Structure 1
């Protein structure tokens, strides 16, 4: 039996990258997983990858409250409540202070901050006592990465949420923690660099400067999420676990 046998989980942004790897890992640990994302074709492929008997896909945008309502209506129909919530959906792009537009700022904060908040808030009636909420942050929140200001600020807000919500939900035994990846090789990460040549240059730089000597794999971040979702981490609350190959540590 897996560590999450009989549990029910939700993974936002679960159709690719860290989200998909997390959904696969949680299902492998025995959970039934609801995944959501904006692209239906990728969601359908995700269901095939995870296993149709272990997952339900609900297309939606976490910045739209009506889409979150549809997601949780599907979870409610299953009748087992919710044991694990992984708030992974996010967007990011390299834009300098000078280049920042209202549209860029609003999209970043509508999804990464507002969307994450209401993802958690609307889950509250379904969350079983003792549930685990895992927020996906970023090492960008701690570093002054050039042209990544709006994204970094949004992830700093996510880190702050974990502390506040841990205090608010402690009486229900609900734990809230953050996983902060860096240099994980995902389709979204490559897209953020703008082109393949830039992405390749970044990968080469990571290989030369990060202790692990390579980009991380989505499965490595997913393993940490699964740990925080399980009772193996029962005494970890409000923490921020780095999955960064040592980039922020040494």
Structure 2
């Protein structure tokens, strides 16, 4: 079903994981899709596989975000969908946290996301949809997750305030908060095969539905938020974690 026909969508961090799956889903639903990435080789590969437009941009650098907005404006004009997806993961006990880790996470996950929204607002059509990729950890209290969780909690606050500010233009702003999801980001933790299996088993044990989510699951929810079926939903956070945050 082409629920997003004639819509133009920008997806940050669309060359892998949830961003890639969402680009694929939105294109299948009829949207014209633009993805960003900060790795040239990965971006070019994704563009070729998906048949979409790609722009290099590091969300942690405001100058690159500003340049991205200019490029999108020049080539496409206004847009209908903005999925602010780019992000990184990092953990550390509070006692051992470093300024470098703090800055690297907040520069992308919080500051970068904030200014991506800020700079794209002039390009949003009235009636557009903005979706943030948050996390179930925003409302959980796991050890060693203080920096990452705080950044996602701050993101949810931005989402709600943006929903109020942009409501006069009928622009809806929402967030999708996945729990454990099988994506490339888990492979970047540097774990060997046994340790990775141990992590998966540990997560599954804590998820009532006894499975780890997929990027496709999240992509379908993001696409739903951007379609007419969600036209009366704004300022909402949907937690997709198989019940993990209930425990």
Give the TM-score category using the shorter length: over 0.9
User: What is the match of residue 233 of structure 1?
Assistant: 230
Does the CA contact (< 8 Å) of 1:18 and 1:219 recur in 2? yes
User: What is the match of residue 105 of structure 1?
Assistant: 102
| Cα-to-partner distance string for 1:36-84 (whole Å, 9 max, x where unaligned) | 1111111111112211xxx211111011122112222222123441100
How high is the TM-score relative to the length of structure 2? 0.96
Structure 1 unaligned residues grouped into runs of 5+: none
- How far apart are residue 221 of structure 1 and its match? 0.5
- How far apart are residue 187 of structure 1 and its match? 1.1
User: What is the match of residue 33 of structure 1?
Assistant: 33
**What are the residue-to-residue correspondences of 1:160-179 with 2, within 5 Å?**
160-179=157-176
Separation in structure 1 between the aligned mates of residue 79 and residue 233 of structure 2, nearest angstrom: 19
Aligned to 1:248, the other structure's residue is in SS state helix
Q: Give the ranges of 4+ consecutive aligned residues of structure 1 lying more than 6 Å apart after TM superposition.
A: none
Separation in structure 2 between the aligned mates of residue 65 and residue 41 of structure 1, nearest angstrom: 22
Separation in structure 1 between the aligned mates of residue 88 and residue 192 of structure 2, nearest angstrom: 17
Separation in structure 2 between the aligned mates of residue 217 and residue 207 of structure 1, nearest angstrom: 13
- How far apart are residue 193 of structure 1 and its match? 6.5
User: What is the match of residue 50 of structure 1?
Assistant: 50
Separation in structure 2 between the aligned mates of residue 115 and residue 227 of structure 1, nearest angstrom: 24
Q: May I ask how many residue pairs the two structures share in their alignment?
A: 247
User: What is the match of residue 5 of structure 1?
Assistant: 5
**What are the residue-to-residue correspondences of 1:72-151 with 2, within 5 Å?**
72-151=69-148
| Cα-to-partner distance string for 1:222-250 (whole Å, 9 max, x where unaligned) | 00000001111111110000111121236
Structure 1 window deviating more from structure 2 (187-196 vs 235-244): it is 187-196
Structure 2 unaligned residues grouped into runs of 5+: none
Does the CA contact (< 8 Å) of 1:203 and 1:214 recur in 2? no
Alpha-carbon RMSD across the aligned residues, in angstroms, is: 1.4
User: What is the match of residue 249 of structure 1?
Assistant: 246
Structure 1 window deviating more from structure 2 (233-242 vs 64-73): it is 64-73
Separation in structure 1 between the aligned mates of residue 79 and residue 115 of structure 2, nearest angstrom: 16
**What are the residue-to-residue correspondences of 1:188-203 with 2, within 5 Å?**
188-192=185-189, 194-203=191-200
Does the CA contact (< 8 Å) of 1:190 and 1:196 recur in 2? no
Separation in structure 2 between the aligned mates of residue 231 and residue 186 of structure 1, nearest angstrom: 28
Separation in structure 2 between the aligned mates of residue 237 and residue 87 of structure 1, nearest angstrom: 15
> Is 1:14 aligned to 2:7, yes or no?
no
| Cα-to-partner distance string for 1:108-149 (whole Å, 9 max, x where unaligned) | 111111100110011011100000000000011111111111
> Which one of the candidate residues 54, 58, 62 is aligned to 1:61?
58
